[in-house]
Structure 1
């Protein structure tokens, strides 16, 4: 007879029963705990399989000019996305979907088949709400819509280099959009929804976190001046067949950039045929040798030493100066062969400027240019901005001293050039450059003496107004001051300069009696005959300055006396046929 094993070993049987009872008890306790005490765990597991959070897009902050005119706004657009898994069951409607999306049916079919195992793919982005709704109205299973925002730039190509643009995800990629991205970008919100296992939306539960819009940004740019500068620079580029150009307009007192334009430019609202060269903000990125526009800075260094006065005279005959293997030449011949310091600026004499530089030394000129911001960081923080180069030699030889004095052997940008002249116009006080509107006038720093600055202002006024001066820069009704420059372009990839390749420059300020605006004009490689700065860039300066002073309501300081005006009017009215319409 067989004996039951449990009767032979009763303690084993009881042990197994006890273990089974403990396991059942543990499971029962855990069930009670999950359902009564720790119910958040089961709730979380259930939600993880059904509750989802959808991002609520936040629109970027508004960008305006100093007067509140919109320069960049966010407009609502519809983004269509699809669930390829779900769309596999609606193959019969793929052709209608492709037609509604204005896409090639074959391409769409291939894409959906390749992504058949995925649950998300973009179908189209940046559609107008009407276009997006037309697709959604087809009610194709697996096609859904999202509300997003797209940037629109009302001024188009006129402000393109300043404002920049955003990418398809509404993140800043160029210009102010990139420099102030954190300020402009909003904080996305979150919406809680219920979805089934296929990812289909069942219920919109609640908004967990509201979207926070980006902050508005008021720039220092004046859109009226921006349009004016854009038009005149574009006309000059066309007239002289130039390769490119830049123009920068500054407020002398506050350091605000009132206008910054470049050619060629582009339309940020339509980047399909965008050329990379057109995207460059040349005023901040392109560096160049500034040529004779540096002579007023060198002359300031001479006056600061106390060794030179405006009436001091320098012999410049015969118009050439030999330094070792190099020969310095003057373009303009001087009658009598002698010039005072103002005459050196009017005639733009390289020989005269070099002789003054030899007397004061290269270190003095270097120090002056450095204090005026040449080859220094502007502090704007603009993406891609370049600093340029201002060389400082341990020992200043004659050739290095001479070339620096008349603007060669260094590199700068159009913004730095305008800033240097703004400091001269502001009686030697340098204020930081800013791209945003300022409500208060900054204190700035006195980098050169007021006396020297005022003397240079008077000399530069004579450069424009004296006989033989740069008369094309004159502004009717105003005294203005400035200096032209013509610089040969260096050859890329080899030493020396290109043949018949120049940059035409003019930098100045106005009105001379109480300077308000400083400007720098740079035109790259004019080819239609003229290339001198006084012929190409000076007229642009004159036209833009004339319009800017009037738009800013600056009182004229160069009107003829009332008696002369009355006499001129009387003379005109006495002419035969005046006003005769027949």
Structure 2
């Protein structure tokens, strides 16, 4: 009896282990065959991503083809706060490259901890981005973007305007021709590692479409001299502001349009909104005697007047379309030269 009881217990134990082995084998087959496609899809979902390809904004050039506004490649620094784990030394170096105190950087990261994506700084130069990338901080990533640059600086500032941090026009010609200059981003499928770095590019889904080039009638050399002569004149007479427009008398094309004081569109953080206005276009003013040469030239061109033709300006006022226009003083009888 004891021998039979012992054999029965052995059979029970053996059956138990056979059952466990059967379950494990079945699960292995299930994973290898039945759920293989599902698991592959789950793996791809964690590693294959579709990312944007930034598009180049169209250049603005002068009549001779010289660049007035160009977009240069930059890098924007972003992190996954949950993966961001720098050492004390790495954090200090990162803060140094970003130009902020370590404490401020820590507060910025802490404020975004609940998110999976947060910019630390936009539009870093490639050199600074390379130094930060060399720190090998977990959770640190870069995104390629473009930043607008204006080679002529303050001489064309109000005319061209500028773009915002996303390279969209918000002032001047940059805003007026946004639809023409703006590019449209493309898309590509890539493989990323767990830290978010791209380790392979699979295929192009959509080619980026660059913006169109915009050519102006402006001559950058005339623009430069017009602006600086205007500045010198303001300084000489102590005027608060001034504008100048240079036209081609044969075609009517605008060769230069400048305002002073101006601002540096490449570093505009400390300027006021008033500095951005193109006053030659937006502001109305009484032209006064400035317009006289054009009126006199038109009169002489008719052949009815000469420089010595006599004009009686009395009684120093006249009615035009129901409005009375008066001279400041009574000048009596003058020749055309005297009127001018």
TM range (shorter): 0.7 to 0.9
Q: 2 CA distance for matches of 1:181 and 1:338?
A: 55
Deviations 1:381-408 (A, max 9, x none): xxxxxxxxxxxxxxxxxxxxxxxxxxxx
Deviation at 1:314, TM superposition (A): 4.5
Q: 1 CA distance for matches of 2:108 and 2:71?
A: 31
Match of 1:78 in 2: 75
The one of 151, 154, 157 aligned to 1:157: 154
203-212 vs 241-250, which deviates more? 203-212
Match of 1:416 in 2: none
Q: How many residues align?
A: 300
Match of 2:19 in 1: none
State the secondary structure of the residue aligned to 1:215.
coil
Match of 1:141 in 2: 138
Deviations 1:84-114 (A, max 9, x none): 0101x44544333223322211111112122
Deviation at 1:172, TM superposition (A): 1.1
State the secondary structure of the residue aligned to 2:83.
helix
Q: 1 CA distance for matches of 2:56 and 2:69?
A: 11
Match of 1:104 in 2: 101
Q: 1 CA distance for matches of 2:173 and 2:72?
A: 18
Q: 2 CA distance for matches of 1:237 and 1:108?
A: 45
Deviation at 1:137, TM superposition (A): 0.2
1:281 matches 2:275: no
1:339 matches 2:329: no
Deviation at 1:283, TM superposition (A): 0.5
TM (norm. structure 1) is: 0.46
Match of 1:212 in 2: 209
Deviation at 1:164, TM superposition (A): 1.4
Deviations 1:465-502 (A, max 9, x none): xxxxxxxxxxxxxxxxxxxxxxxxxxxxxxxxxxxxxx
Matches within 5 A, 1:72-471: 72-87=69-84, 89-90=85-86, 92=88, 93-195=90-192, 199=196, 201-293=198-290, 309-310=304-305, 313-316=310-313, 320=316, 328-331=326-329, 333=331, 337-339=332-334, 342=336, 346-347=338-339, 463=340
Q: 2 CA distance for matches of 1:230 and 1:283?
A: 12
Which structure 1 segments of 5+ residues have no match? 1-30, 348-462, 464-582
State the secondary structure of the residue aligned to 2:208.
coil
Q: Conserved in 1, the CA contact under 8 Å of 2:155 and 2:223?
A: yes
TM (norm. structure 2) is: 0.76
1:69 matches 2:80: no
Q: 2 CA distance for matches of 1:301 and 1:141?
A: 74
Deviations 1:346-369 (A, max 9, x none): 42xxxxxxxxxxxxxxxxxxxxxx
Q: 1 CA distance for matches of 2:39 and 2:279?
A: 61
Of structures 1 and 2, the one with the larger relative CO (CA 8 A, separation 6+) is: 2
Q: Conserved in 1, the CA contact under 8 Å of 2:189 and 2:204?
A: yes
Deviation at 1:247, TM superposition (A): 0.5
Q: 1 CA distance for matches of 2:325 and 2:109?
A: 72
State the secondary structure of the residue aligned to 1:310.
coil
